[in-house]
Structure formats: C-alpha cells, structure tokens
Chain A
Amino acid sequence: MNKGGALVSEHLTAIMEEHGEYCLRVAYLYVRDWSIAEEIVQDVFLAYYLQQHRFEQRASLKTYLVKITVHKSHDYLRSWKNKRHQLLSKFHFGISKRTPESDVIKAAERVTLQAALFELPITYREVLILYYYQELKVREIADVLGNTENTVKTRLRRARQLLQSKLERSDWEVLGDDIF
C-alpha cells in the first residue's frame, strides 16, 4: 500500500472505531441478522471511503453514516436475496416441529421489545430506531429518510401506538421519554 493509501486507511480505521458499532446495530435493527448487518456495514464504510469527497459536512458524520446505513439496509430489504431468505425461513418454520416447550419460548420472546419492534412494518420501525435508539432529532430523521418533519412526527406517533399494542405495560414505559 502506498503512503497516501496508508493515510486514507488510517483515517477509515479511526472513523470505524468511532462509528462502526452503532452503524452495525442500526443495520441489525433493520435486517434482524448479524451477518447481513455486517455485510451492510462493510458496504457503508466502503461507500464512505470511495466517495468521501461527497461528504460536505452539512450534517454530522454520524448522521451521514446513518443515512448511508439506512439506504443500504433498504436496498437489502428490497433485494431478491432478502425475499429469497424470507421465503426459505418461512418454509423452514413451516416444517419445524411444534412442541409445548417451543410454544412457551416463542410466547416469552413475543413480549420482548426487540420482538415487538421487529413485528412493526419497516416504515414505523425505522423512525423508532432512529429516534429512540440513535437519538437523532426529528429534523435529522427527516433528512436521513428524505421525508418532511411532519411525516416523521406522524410516523413516530403511529409507531408508538403500534408498539404499545404489542408490549406489556412495564415494557411500554421505555417509550416514556417522548420529547418530539
């Protein structure tokens, strides 16, 4: 690797140290698969590395990287690879044996925040992830998703309602810090 290349990869490593973990977690919360999330994050940092001249510092680097992660996650969710994966999963669950134990485990899983979150449509799930998990402001979410602030607020309200219907009262309190 030449001197310039070494400098650039040092810069990339520093960026990844700071932002890698949360990008990976955001990707996971979109696709619900750690290995796919790793692939997405790999693509995110490659895209940033190859086109970093496009980053004009109008937003923070965090928001910029989250924006790329969201786009890449959407790309994956729309891809044939994901559709095939989902179809195979359904097929797999269809033939798996149902036992009383597995039913109990599944019922317990259903009440977790994670499980409830993954039951939401992506439109609602993503605003919750970006607002409550990534702690982005409504304006920043609007920028990341390419929507208006009002749309984001409406989706957040609807997402909260949907999530509330799926959670126990004690779990629901996690969304108590509603500040938008």
Chain B
Amino acid sequence: MTSFKKKLNEEIGETPRFTKGLQERIVHQATQQQYKQNSKWQYPAIIVGIMVTLLFLIASGPWQQMEYVQHASIVELEQNEEIQQLSIAQNWYEDSFKAGRTGWVIGQQEYAKGTETKLIENMLQKAMVSQKSEEYYLINNLWIEFSNGQVVKLQMFKSNEQFAFLDIKTNKFYEVNDGEAVSAFTDFNFKKLDFNFLVFLVWIGFIWLGAWVAERAVRWKFHIPKEPKYVNDNHKKVVYLNKFINVIVLCIFNLKSWIIFIAADFVLILVILLPNLAIEYYFGRHEKRHYVALTTTTYTSIIFIAFLIWIF
C-alpha cells in the first residue's frame, strides 16, 4: 500500500463503506433490470421502423405527385401559355422517365425562359395529333412548366429529320411536320452536360482519401481502436443486419430509378448513415466508436452537398 493511500484512508475513514444494504439494493435493481434487458429486440425494431417509414415517405413523395392540370392538348396549352422552366434528360427507355422539376433531379439539363424554351414552344405549336409510328425512337424526356403553373411531362421521339412528342398524362402522340421549326431546333447548339469521367474518377479518389484521413484522424485523436472491429457478437450481428438492409434499400432505389432524385438521395444517405451512427453509439460509445460514425456521416453529408453545388 502506498503511503498516499494509507494517509488518504486515514482521512476519509478506514471503516468499509460498501455495506450489505447497498449490495442488496444493487442485486434487487439488477433483477428488475434483467426483464427490461431481455427486450433487446426493440433497438433493431426501431431502426427497421425508421427505415420503413422513410421508404414509405419516398414512395409517396412529391416526385411522384407532379401537378398535372387537365388540358385538351399540349398544342392548345402552348398557344395560350409560355414555357417558364424546362428540363431535358436523355433517355432511350420508354418504360422510365428521367426528367423532373428543376433543381430536384441529377443529370438533366435545365433551362429558364429563353431561346431553348422558345424553340420547344415553336415545335409544340406546330405539332399535330397522330398515330404513333414504329419508326420513331425515344431520345429525350421533357419536363415543362408553363406560365400558369401547369406541368407536362413529354417523351421526345426522333425519326430521321422528324420529331414527335408523347404526352405521358394523356398518352397522346404528336408529330411535328414543320421543317423550319425542326431545323431551328436541331441547328441550335444546346448546352451539354460537361461530364468528364476521368475528372469524376479523380474526385472519387480524393473523396475516398479524405474519408480515410478523417477516420484515421478521429481514431488517433480519441484513441479509438480499429481492432477488434466489433465490440461483441451482438454488435457484429446488428452491423451485418444493417448492411443487409442497406443492400436491399440500394437495390430498391436502383430498380425504381429513385437514385436520380436529390431528395431521395438525401433520404438514402440518412437511411444508410443514421442507423450506423445509432448502432455505433449503442454498442461502442464507451470506446467513443460513434465518433468515427459521426465523422463519416458529417463528411458524407458535406461531400454530397458539395456535389450538388457542383452539378447545378
């Protein structure tokens, strides 16, 4: 025994303080708590519940409830109203639609009222209802908002030098037979998406490197061990379950083509990162493991916002 301990014990009293009464109180509380502890299923249930709710919100989200006002034909609408906003997305598959409200969809070209909208207006004014011909092939999806707030979604077809449109809502097919309108449209040099795959790969490399450095820095700063990877078996099981759910969510997003919607991507990031944060906090907060998850969440959110600023 050190002299420090001896002296301190003399001062604070050497009579045992940890009484039988205190022991019994702890044992009683422990027995009561055991019943609560057995309900560990609540945590995974809450996480799954949150994810299902988020998925439900995505499914019933605003991107599937665009405002459509009944109109006789787009030609009629075109003659009375002007195009305020226009989005064009390249798409060759008729069973999907990739254009949407401006500022909400990744990978589309967006135009405010100007030359581009005038060219589309011009084409639509000259369009005539006709039977859909097999010679046409799909090239673009168009999302158009008119000055009265009405929104239409059109598929744009091409056949040699001819253009045609299909109104998604009314399923009416329109051909443009006016050569001047068509040539004015085709001659115009529309701005293209400036996408360089090499630059994109370099960016991905930097982002990955940044994430790696951030994780190392947090582990170093707070002395968070990398090994063992899991605090215990339960931690491992929950992490695997979470990864499995993440893969399913990713597949659903991909199959439903929700990945192009920014709001859906935000939800996707939350669905992936928040449960991870909750799991790390629940199992590893004593070792500050959740600091790593918190750093990853913050870093990913910042990178995603930076990405959005970059593409718009």
Q: Which residues of A contact B (CB under 8 A)?
A: 1, 5, 8-9, 12-13, 16-17, 20-21, 23-25, 28-29, 34, 37-38, 41-42, 45-46, 49-50, 53-54, 56, 67-68, 71, 112-114, 117, 128, 132-133, 135, 146-148, 171, 173-177
Q: Are A25 and B12 in touch, CB under 8 angstroms?
A: yes
| Interface positions of B from 25 to 62, Cβ below 8 Å from A | 25-27, 29-31, 33-34, 37
C-alpha gap A69/B26 in the complex (Å): 15
- Pick the residue among A38, A71, A173 that contacts B286 (CB under 8 A): A71
Q: 8 tightest A-B contacts by CB?
A: A132-B4, A20-B18, A114-B11, A49-B30, A21-B18, A174-B4, A174-B3, A174-B7
Q: Give min CB distance, B9 to chain A, whole Å.
A: 8
Q: Are A114 and B232 in contact (CB under 8 A)?
A: no
Known contacts A9-B31, A46-B33; is-contact A146 B288 (Cβ 8 Å):
yes
Q: Do residues A41 and B8 form an inter-chain contact, with CB atoms below 8 A?
A: no
Q: Which residues of B contact A37 (CB under 8 A)?
A: 17
B17 interface neighbour in A25, A133, A147, Cβ under 8 Å = A25
Contact A16 B23 (CB under 8 A): yes
Give 1 or 0 for each of B6-26: 1 = CB within 8 Å of chain A CB: 111001100011100011011
The answer to whether A12 and B26 have CB atoms under 8 Å apart is yes
A45 to B34, CA, bound (A): 13
How distant is the Cα of A151 from the Cα of B292 in the complex, in angstroms?
22
Q: List 20 A-B contacts (CB under 8 A).
A: A8-B34, A16-B18, A20-B22, A37-B17, A41-B22, A42-B29, A46-B30, A49-B33, A53-B232, A54-B231, A68-B286, A112-B11, A113-B4, A113-B7, A113-B8, A113-B11, A128-B4, A133-B2, A147-B223, A171-B7
Point out which of B5, B11, B18, B288 has the most chain A C-beta atoms below 10 A from its C-beta.
B18
Nearest-Cβ distance from residue B175 to partner chain A, whole angstroms: 71
Using CB atoms, name the residue of chain A closest to B233.
A53
Cα distance, A71 to B183, chains bound together (Å)? 75
Complex-state Cα separation, A114 to B17, whole angstroms: 17
The answer to whether B29 and A24 touch across the interface, beta carbons within 8 angstroms, is no
Chain A residues, CB < 8 A from B2: 132-133, 135, 174, 177
Shortest Cβ distance from A67 into B: residue: B286
A133 to B1, CA, bound (A): 8
Interface size class of B (residues with CB under 8 A): 20 to 34
A89 to B152, CA, bound (A): 71
> Within the complex, what minimum Cβ distance (angstroms) separates B222 from chain A?
7
A12 to B26, alpha carbons, bound, how many Å?
9
CB-defined contacts of B22 to chain A, threshold 8 Å: 20, 38, 41-42
The answer on a CB contact under 8 Å between A46 and B11 is no
Contact A114 B12 (CB under 8 A): yes
In the complex, whether B171 has a CB less than 8 A from a CB of chain A is no
B131: A residues at CB distance < 8 A: none
Known contacts being A38-B22, A133-B8, is A45 close to B232, with CB within 8 Å?
no
For residue B43, give the distance in angstroms from its CB to the closest CB of chain A.
13
- Contact among A5, A23, A67 with B34 in the assembled complex (CB-CB below 8 Å): A5
Q: Are B31 and A175 in contact (CB under 8 A)?
A: no
Query: Known contacts A16-B18, A38-B22; is A176 also within 8 Å of B3 by CB?
Result: yes
Q: Assess whether B5 is in contact with A173, with CB atoms less than 8 Å apart.
A: no
Does the CB pair A133–B5 fall under 8 Å?
yes
| Cβ of B237 to closest chain A Cβ, rounded Å | 12
Residue of B nearest to A1 (CB): B31
Contact A114 B8 (CB under 8 A): yes
Which of the listed residues B6, B29, B30, B31 has the most CB atoms from chain A within 10 Å of its own CB?
A: B30
> Is there an interface contact between B4 and A133, defined as CB atoms closer than 8 Å?
yes
Q: Which of B5, B26, B231, B286 contacts A45 (CB 8 A)?
A: B26
Does the CB pair B7–A148 fall under 8 Å? no
CB neighbours (8 Å) of A128 from chain B are 4
B234 is an interface residue with CB less than 8 A from chain A:
yes
Q: Which residues of the other chain, B, contact A146 by a CB distance below 8 angstroms?
A: 222-223, 287-288
How distant is B19 from chain A, measured CB to nearest CB, in Å?
A: 9
* Contact assessment for A16 and B26 in the assembled complex, using a CB-CB cutoff below 8 Å: yes
